Amino acid sequence: MSLETSAPPRWQPRTQRAGEWEITALSSGWLRLDGGSMWGVVPATMWREWTPPDADNTIRLACRPFLARRGKDVVLIEPGIGTRWAEKWRKIYKIEYVDTLEETLARVGVKPEDVTHVIDSHCHWDHIGSQVVERDGKLVPFFPNARHFAPAVEIAMAKKPGHARAASYRAEDVLCIEERGLLEGFEGTRELLPGLVAHVLGGHSDGVSVITLGEGSERAIFWSDVVPTTHHVQPPYIMAYDLDVVRSFEVRSQWLEEAARGSWLGMFFHDEHVPFARIAKDGKRYRCEPAC
């Protein structure tokens, strides 16, 4: 059986507005994870239609940062996977350095030095690896002038994950930023900039958060791994990776309901094809309407 995979869809600039914010979907590369793990208890007969797997049962996942701009605020939400990977891990996770953060930022005319804020929803390596780069054999922050924010409990887990969480974190992804005084932890519900709020939820990981921008029908939400793709929109469609499934079910039920009621603009990190979509509800079931 051939394990050759198709090429990932190439990045193209896609921008949406949410109130005063202009939000552009970037790319930081790609990885593949086992489809069964990404879909938890959902039967393969169903998920294979929505996210067709390769011969080895893996599905391709985007690692998609979002650039939110408003006046002098240049905010990078979720840096992404990055290119700091040993060959062994690149092979295991089939990490593809196609349309990297460096390349896609340059394509929208933004220099890493221009970024004023970096927000990490949680500290799993596929979400924050890009915030640290290697230059002349040394690890340095990719965004040297940005204030970086991450959930306090996630910073702690990244530094000392313990056995059950060890495969999901790399300490250097946060230490390099913290050592330079650029990293700040947040807890609970925290307004990081006027109208830009981090909500620590937990479930998928100890401190996974969603990020909201703006208010009312103008509101956008970065779903992170709370809703990893536009197909994961029914509350029980919980990844096998989630630490606390009961908590995941609670927060997903609550936030999907609110997002559908408000017709919020959703920002999806892992969806292979769709960066922006709004969630709607038909009877008891949710569906996603791609926004661009």
CB 78 within 8 A of CB 269: yes
Minimum separation from the CB atom of position 274 to Zn ion (A): 19
Closest CA to 77 of 10, 178, 145, 148: 148
**Phi/psi zone of residue 82: left (φ > 0), alpha (ψ -120 to 50 degrees), beta?**
left
Minimum separation from the CB atom of position 170 to Zn ion (A): 13
Strand partners, 138: 135
- Residue closer to Zn ion, measured from CB, 70 or 272: 272
Total chain residues near Zn ion (CB under 5 A) = 2
- Residue closer to Zn ion, measured from CB, 214 or 235: 235
Tell me the window of 10-18, 122-130, 152-160, 280-288 that interacts with Zn ion (CB under 5 A). 122-130
Minimum separation from the CB atom of position 205 to Zn ion (A): 6
- The C-alpha atoms of residue 5 and residue 8 are separated, in whole angstroms, by 9
**Phi/psi zone of residue 24: left (φ > 0), alpha (ψ -120 to 50 degrees), beta?**
beta
Q: Tell the residue number behind the tokens 């919980």, with chain if given.
A: 238
- Residue closer to Zn ion, measured from CB, 128 or 133: 128
- Residue closer to Zn ion, measured from CB, 99 or 225: 225
- Residue closer to Zn ion, measured from CB, 12 or 37: 37
Minimum separation from the CB atom of position 31 to Zn ion (A): 12
- Kindly tell me which residue out of 32, 124, 199, 232 binds Zn ion, with binding defined by CB under 5 A: 124
Minimum separation from the CB atom of position 242 to Zn ion (A): 9
Site for Zn ion in 252-281 (CB under 5 A): none
Tell me the window of 79-87, 91-99, 109-117, 118-126 that interacts with Zn ion (CB under 5 A). 118-126
Closest CA to 102 of 73, 136, 76, 138: 76
CB 67 within 8 A of CB 76: yes
- Residue closer to Zn ion, measured from CB, 81 or 256: 81
Structure tokens at 57: 């049962």
- Residue closer to Zn ion, measured from CB, 124 or 231: 124
Minimum separation from the CB atom of position 208 to Zn ion (A): 6
- The C-alpha atoms of residue 129 and residue 110 are separated, in whole angstroms, by 19
CB 94 within 8 A of CB 47: no
Tell me the window of 45-53, 98-106, 124-132, 157-165 that interacts with Zn ion (CB under 5 A). 124-132
Site for Zn ion in 220-249 (CB under 5 A): 225
Tell me the window of 38-46, 82-90, 117-125, 182-190 that interacts with Zn ion (CB under 5 A). 117-125
CB 196 within 8 A of CB 75: yes
Minimum separation from the CB atom of position 225 to Zn ion (A): 4
CB 154 within 8 A of CB 120: yes
CB 217 within 8 A of CB 224: no
Residue nearest to Zn ion as judged by C-beta position: 124
Minimum separation from the CB atom of position 239 to Zn ion (A): 8
Q: How far is CA 254 from the centre of its chain?
A: 20
- Residue closer to Zn ion, measured from CB, 33 or 182: 33
Provide φ and ψ at 275, rounded to 5°.
-80, -35
Residues of this chain that bind Zn ion (CB under 5 A): 124, 225
